[in-house]
Chain A
């Protein structure tokens, strides 16, 4: 019993290490885009990635053929949207969560960043993204269009802070 358990643990460790080696770079890039931090200084994105990969590790044996990358991405997205929801309007919005101007998505609100990253960077289908975030498909479509337009044709002036972004987004 003990030896079989140890062999199973070792196999799981190898599989998970291969998964992390393959997926961590892309997921960290997505997380850095979400948190709008510069690529070389991204503590919040790293924390988000660590938590979602740890969650994937904890349910590795119960995946039953489901794609672990998909699972990690889902956890990342839902955790980010929950955190963004809590930081709206609270004291956290004033200081540490302001988007860094070096990030390409600094002008977008957290929800716009989330939808843009899921739809365009990760290539998740509109229906799946809508189901994941609990929004109607049309709304995801509209937010994605608006975020793309803001990204390609940024309005003049300095990047808005989180508080202004909150007022601007309905």
Chain B
């Protein structure tokens, strides 16, 4: 018995008695698949929302704090009584 015959015999054994597909399968698949899809969409939306909120927060903080402006010097004492 060569390799091809062996594989054909194994295929024949496996192809006996196919199971019948349950009729409610499609509805269940669409229900689960739709839920997965909705969750994925919601997660993507939440991510965008978080990104947007973080950007807005950063811009507002930057405009208020203005970290690029050199802070006034604190080592030289102010000139008073001149």
Contacts and interface: CB of A to CB of B under 8 A. Distances in A.
A129 interface: no
Contact of A46 (B7, B9, B25): B25
Nearest to A61: B37
Interface string B8-52: 011101111111111001101110111011001000000000000
Contacts of A33: 14
Provide the main secondary structure of the chain B interface: helix
A89 interface: no
Given A104-B16, A121-B15, A57 B7 contact: no
The DSSP consensus for interface residues of chain A is helix
Interface in B54-70: none
Contacts of A20: 25-26, 29
Interface string A14-50: 0011001000110011001100000110100110011
A17 B19 contact: no
Contacts of B32: 50-51, 54, 57
B19 A42 contact: yes
Contacts of B17: 39
Nearest to B34: A57
Contacts of B34: 57
16 contacts: A13-B30, A17-B26, A24-B21, A28-B21, A46-B22, A50-B25, A50-B28, A53-B29, A57-B29, A58-B36, A58-B40, A104-B14, A117-B14, A120-B11, A120-B14, A121-B14
Interface of B: 1, 6-7, 9-11, 13-22, 25-26, 28-30, 32-34, 36-37, 40
Given A17-B26, A39-B18, A120-B11, 16 more contacts: A20-B26, A25-B18, A25-B21, A29-B19, A32-B19, A33-B14, A46-B25, A51-B32, A53-B33, A54-B36, A55-B36, A57-B29, A57-B30, A116-B10, A149-B6, A152-B1
Interface of A: 13, 16-17, 20, 24-25, 28-29, 32-33, 39-40, 42, 45-46, 49-51, 53-58, 60, 104-105, 116-117, 120-121, 148-149, 151-152
